[in-house]
Amino acid sequence: MARLPSARPHAHPVESRHMKVYISADMEGITGLVDAEDVQPHGRDYEHGRVMMTEDVNAAVRGALTAGAIAVVVNDAHKPMRNLLPDRLHPVARLVRGGPKPMGMLEGLDGSFDAAVCIGFHARAGTFGVLSHSFMGHEIEDIWLDGRRVGEIGLLHATAAAMGVPVVMLSGDDAACAEMIDWDAEVATVAVKRTRDRFAAELDPVVEARERIEAAVGAAVRARPGGRCVPSAAEATTLAVRWQSTSVASHLLGIPGVTLRDGRTVEVTGPMTDVFRLFGVFMRVATALTGQPPYC
């Protein structure tokens, strides 16, 4: 089974002298957004979606600052990773923008951070959630980490823990929040919408949703463990990915260490951070071979 951050200490919260907070910002779980037109470049509502995304992130930044953070780094984690509006982003935040990036949705994260926050996340492929998928729309059918089914939420959580950084808060739809709680019940969650179908939701009022994001981030960062997770970077982890296309699987066999579990499923074993970075290479190969849009 995939390792949860069992080393997360139970010490009382402490005020940090130089606390750093990392925010990974996806788009599908942002307040008010429900459709591909909201989150894909050239979609009719994409430009408004960018504003909504930026303001959810701003709420998270404010929460981190009220908890005592002196540095906040935001990584634009939604393809094409140029969604957040720099001129509307909170002036304290440093933005990691553009792609491709070697560590993708976790670019810029390292063991110097005290806490990680996930804003605007969605549920994994095959889950009844708003805009649910795992990284590449239908092209990735399933992912397993040490035999446990996983999506973007669990994969990012495990990689952050391997760096010694606890994920302390996540926002998204109700399905994303449930997935996070199932993975690690200690992570605070804020559901900003309730799933009605894959492209439909009951929305929380925008002002209320952002107030709850800000409050939850502040409380979660303030109550973070008194010490960081014990890094597990050297421990071996097995990642398996089932693709829609047999062609993708066969081409990935050209990467040293990748083996075939069945005609469409590849797996690789190594330290969690290395495996996560290699998974990014998998996706770039798959994109070159398929050119498939995310929500076909």
Burial environment of residue 214 by CB neighbours within 10 A (0 to 12, 13 to 18, 19 or more): buried
Distance (Å, whole) CA 26 – CA 269 = 27
Q: Which of 96, 24, 79, 126 is nearest to 280 (CA)?
A: 79
Distance (Å, whole) CA 209 – CA 29 = 12
Annotated catalytic residue: which of 90, 122, 133, 157?
133
Cα→Cα distances 122→82, 263, 268, 282, Å: 19, 28, 25, 21
Query: Hey, what's the torsion of the CAs at 127, 128, 131, 136, to 10 degrees?
Result: 20
Q: In what order do the strands lie in the sheet with 140-145?
A: 148-149, 140-145, 236-243, 265-271, 259-262
122 annotated active-site = no
DSSP-derived letter for residue 93 is -
Q: Give the catalytic positions in this structure.
A: 133
